[in-house]
């Protein structure tokens, strides 16, 4: 699943290519979006901005209309020049927004809806999001408070709760806790203020670092790294490395499915003791 850093970069790239331009073409595989387009056409509207909120993307159009998308596990936005060949098959297209100079194509997107400003202000999921770790401004005190409201929750599960802080997914969950030296299964109530603050600061640093400016091609995304290694094979500390030696101490990396969704957590028993 794309995490907060990927969505932040996607919003920035799409905004630079599309903001201030007029829509020349709109298509969607979602009947609800198509009906809105037929009743109040997107063509002719100006794209005012593209922003991210955690793992959500918001396209604001003139005339009080916002397109909200969530990529879930397999969705993605690509940006193309007119007449450029797509890198994914057309059958995977779910939303297409074109201007005179660029075409944004949303592939395999499971969630897409049009909202007015009033709808956006009342949107239960969006309004419940915690502080966005990748955003320019981050309310650290609010995130700490929200963490403390879940005293019996293992810290690994708390980090995935977008109502606590927005942007962390399964990769960053394991990586952040390794870097912070915190065992994933310790309850929030059993962590010191210093330990909780350390986890939060590592999470903020990692998402911001991975959301930084770097060159890329047509795909709105890139490989993330938490180790600062220039070797692509050594980009992560523990995620996906169950049964292999820890890059830091050599102990065997362990893994376990946890939480309601049974997501896999990776950790080093030596570097992250209970």
Nearest residue to 140 (alpha-carbon basis) of 210, 50, 236, 208: 208
Q: Which residue has the tokens 């330990």?
A: 195
Tell me the C-alpha distance between 86 and 273, whole Å. Answer: 47
205: DSSP letter = H
Tell me the C-alpha distance between 59 and 70, whole Å. Answer: 12
Task: Out of 9, 53, 55, 94, pick the active-site residue.
Answer: 55
Q: Which residue has the tokens 């100079």?
A: 101
Residues with Cβ < 8 Å from 237, sequence gap 6 or more? 175, 178, 179, 226, 227, 246, 247, 248
Task: Out of 3, 9, 131, 184, pick the active-site residue.
Answer: 3
Cβ neighbours of 234 (radius 10 Å): 12
Beta-sheet pairing, 93-98 with 25-28: antiparallel
Specify whether the CB–CB gap between 33 and 106 falls below 8 A: no
Token pair of 17, please? 């290519």
Task: Out of 148, 150, 263, 269, pick the active-site residue.
Answer: 263
Token pair of 137, please? 């401004």
Residue 2 annotated as catalytic: yes
Angle at 2 between CA 59 and CA 61, to 5 degrees: 0
3-state secondary structure of 117: helix
Residue 263 annotated as catalytic: yes
92: DSSP letter = G
Specify whether the CB–CB gap between 248 and 241 falls below 8 A: no
> Mind telling me the catalytic residues?
2-3, 55, 263
């Amino acid at each position: 699943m794309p995490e907060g850093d990927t969505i932040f970069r996607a919003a920035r790239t799409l905004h630079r290519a599309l903001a201030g331009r007029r829509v020349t073409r709109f298509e969607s595989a979602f009947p609800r979006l198509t009906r809105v387009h037929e009743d109040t056409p997107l063509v002719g509207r100006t794209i005012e901005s593209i922003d991210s909120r955690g793992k959500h993307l918001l396209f604001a159009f003139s005339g009080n209309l916002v397109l909200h998308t969530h990529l879930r596990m397999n969705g993605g936005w690509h940006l193309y020049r007119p007449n450029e060949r797509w890198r994914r098959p057309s059958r995977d297209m779910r939303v297409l927004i074109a201007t005179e100079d660029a075409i944004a194509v949303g592939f395999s997107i499971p969630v897409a809806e049009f909202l007015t400003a009033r709808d956006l202000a009342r949107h239960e999921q969006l309004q419940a999001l915690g502080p966005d770790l990748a955003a320019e401004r981050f309310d650290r005190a609010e995130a700490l408070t929200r963490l403390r409201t879940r005293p019996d929750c293992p810290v690994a599960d708390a980090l995935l709760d977008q109502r606590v802080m927005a942007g962390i997914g399964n990769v960053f969950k394991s990586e952040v806790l390794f870097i912070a030296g915190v065992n994933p299964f310790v309850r929030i109530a059993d962590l010191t203020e210093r330990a909780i603050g350390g986890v939060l600061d590592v999470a903020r640093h990692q998402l911001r670092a991975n959301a930084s400016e770097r060159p890329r091609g047509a795909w709105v995304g890139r490989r993330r790294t938490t180790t600062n290694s220039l070797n692509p094979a050594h980009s992560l500390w523990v995620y996906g490395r169950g049964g292999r030696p820890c890059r830091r101490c050599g102990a065997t990396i362990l893994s376990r499915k946890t939480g309601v969704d049974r997501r896999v957590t990776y950790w080093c028993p030596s570097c992250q003791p209970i």
